[in-house]
Amino acid sequence: MKQPSYLIGICLGTTIVAACGGANVGAPPAAQHGALFSLAATQPVRPPKERVLWNFTGGADGGDPIGGVIADAAGNLYGGTIGGGAPDQGTIFELTPIGRKYAEKTLVTFNGRNGSSSSGALAMDASGALFGTTVWGGAYGYGAAFRLTTEGGVRERVIWSFGGNLKDGANPDAGMVLDANGALYGTTSVGGAFGGGIAFKLTPSGRAYAETIMRAFGGDSDGKYPAAPLTLVKNGVLYGTAGGGGNGCSHGCGIVFKLTPSGTGYSESKVYTFKGGSDGSGPSSGLTFDSSGAMYGVTDYGGGGGCADGYGCGTVYKLTPSGSGYTERVLWVFGSGTDGYYPMSNVVIGRGGTLYGTTWQGGSGFGGVVYELVPNGSNYEEKVLMNFVNGADGYDPRGNLFLDRDHRLVGSTYVGGSSEFPDGTVFRFTP
């Protein structure tokens, strides 16, 4: 792996923000398999063109790249899978461009002791070291955080095993973000003092890492089950979402929260509590900030009727600073025909304020869509750029999206692929 000169992702300061799949609080998922894709967001000058770059086999190369990918300066792609590998517990892979094709290299095969099922996107530091989490495995079986280096040979080591005590969290579904000092920040979807998950910090100390529990979720009217990555902004402040808790809905409609360094710990404040109606419910992605300080995200449900037994098909929302708080505005409600439903990927901001993302179901092929929302005055117009139809292009896109140096969107699908190897593909789509 070549040493990168910059990190590609949704960059805020020195961090990469990833998106992840939904919470896994039961047994490890069966080994279905998935796909990575690259979608160009350049100005359209020719008819849409899609090209398959890689087809996962579900064997040694892994399957189910549900968390998306990141890239280094050379254009190499890195990601994790929740299936595949010899014990079928997932892998970490590298995809290297060679001419018009990509070559795959499996960097890590998980076996339980070193982690099991990587469902969140990776993070990379300035030296090229990779950091990530697994939902299961580690010393106690409840998930692990790991560090991976490739210079002079591939070396992976677990830097934290979750579930070692009753206050620690379990099942870290999302990836982690890095600060300039090498500290890592993330969430677990369950566990902690109240059973609703935690927000944690891992601080390097020599070869070891020390854990700080920044917030234990699940108290009265508090958020629960955070399964999306945190966003790190200036002065060490972190923003995140919790898919449950708050008020309304059967288990709460979810919240957007803020963690602010305070003395030796962190103080939490609620930025927004979802109501479950037209404003959406179940915030399922990390947050993306624009230059004015407004943040964008998606909810998996809500927005209106239909879908999920009437709970709604999901929304894209914007939170704008207003006085000492934020005002929420729904930019798009899914479920009106073939525009897709159940968005889970983060929102990516492109040229001219155009927003991009994916839904993991719906569309003409019922396997999800890639959408764009184009500003039109004070409103947005939606356009479906691609329908996933359970073919060679893959389907069920849920994970992290980012704009690469050529202004192309790069992400992943959970399942799909060719008839010979229906375990996921890598593809590029140029609108």
pLDDT truncated to tens, each residue of the chain (431 aa)?
Answer: 444 433 333 333 333 333 333 333 334 434 445 555 555 544 444 555 667 777 788 999 999 899 999 999 999 999 999 999 999 999 999 999 999 889 999 999 999 999 999 999 999 999 999 999 999 999 999 999 999 999 999 999 999 999 999 999 999 999 999 999 999 999 999 999 999 999 999 999 999 999 999 999 997 788 999 999 999 999 999 999 999 999 878 778 999 999 999 988 999 999 999 998 899 999 999 999 999 999 999 999 999 888 987 889 999 999 999 988 999 999 999 998 889 999 999 999 999 999 999 999 999 989 899 999 999 999 999 999 999 887 888 888 898 998 888 888 888 888 888 888 877 776 676 65
CA distance 76 to 174: 22
Number of domains into which the chain is organized: 1
Are 261 and 209 within 8 A, CB to CB?
no
Type of residue numbered 402: F
Q: Which two tokens stand for residue 268?
A: 């939490």
Residue 4 inside a domain? The answer is no
Q: What was the pLDDT predicted at 79? A: 93
| Placement of tokens 């998935």 in the chain | 34
CA distance 417 to 403: 23
Q: Report the Cα 272 to chain-centroid distance in Å.
A: 20
Residue 417 inside a domain? The answer is yes
Contacts 24+ apart (CB under 8 A), 100-106: 101/53, 102/53, 102/54, 102/77, 102/426, 104/54, 104/61, 106/60, 106/61, 106/62
Residue 297 inside a domain? The answer is yes
End-to-end CA distance of the chain: 30
Residue 3 inside a domain? The answer is no
CATH number, position 376: 2.130.10.10
CA distance 293 to 401: 20
Q: Residue 382: which domain range?
A: 10-430
Type of residue numbered 137: G
Q: What was the pLDDT predicted at 16? A: 37
Nearest in space to 172 (alpha carbons), one of 334, 21, 372: 21
Q: What was the pLDDT predicted at 29? A: 39
> Is pTM beyond 0.85 here?
yes
Q: What was the pLDDT predicted at 304? A: 87
Instruction: DSSP letter for 67, please.
Output: T
Are 268 and 216 within 8 A, CB to CB?
no
Nearest in space to 344 (alpha carbons), one of 39, 120, 19: 19
Q: Give the ranges where 322-412 is alpha helix by DSSP (H).
A: none
Q: What was the pLDDT predicted at 354? A: 95
Q: What was the pLDDT predicted at 311? A: 86
Residue 255 inside a domain? The answer is yes
Strands 379-387 and 395-397: unpaired
Contacts 24+ apart (CB under 8 A), 268-275: 268/215, 270/223, 270/246, 271/239, 271/319, 271/325, 271/326, 272/319, 272/326, 272/328, 273/246, 273/247, 274/246, 274/248, 274/299, 274/302, 275/247, 275/248
Number of other CB atoms surrounding residue 52 within 10 Å: 17
Type of residue numbered 103: A
Residue 256 inside a domain? The answer is yes
Residue 353 inside a domain? The answer is yes
Q: What was the pLDDT predicted at 277? A: 86
Q: Which residues pair with 429 in a beta bridge?
A: 39, 50
Q: What was the pLDDT predicted at 216? A: 97
Q: What was the pLDDT predicted at 418? A: 83
Residue 213 inside a domain? The answer is yes
Phi-psi region of 112 (alpha: psi -120 to 50; beta: other; left: phi over 0): left
Q: What was the pLDDT predicted at 30? A: 40
Q: What was the pLDDT predicted at 35? A: 53
| Placement of tokens 């609620």 in the chain | 270
Q: Which two tokens stand for residue 328?
A: 């929420």
Are 387 and 339 within 8 A, CB to CB?
no
CA distance 283 to 320: 16
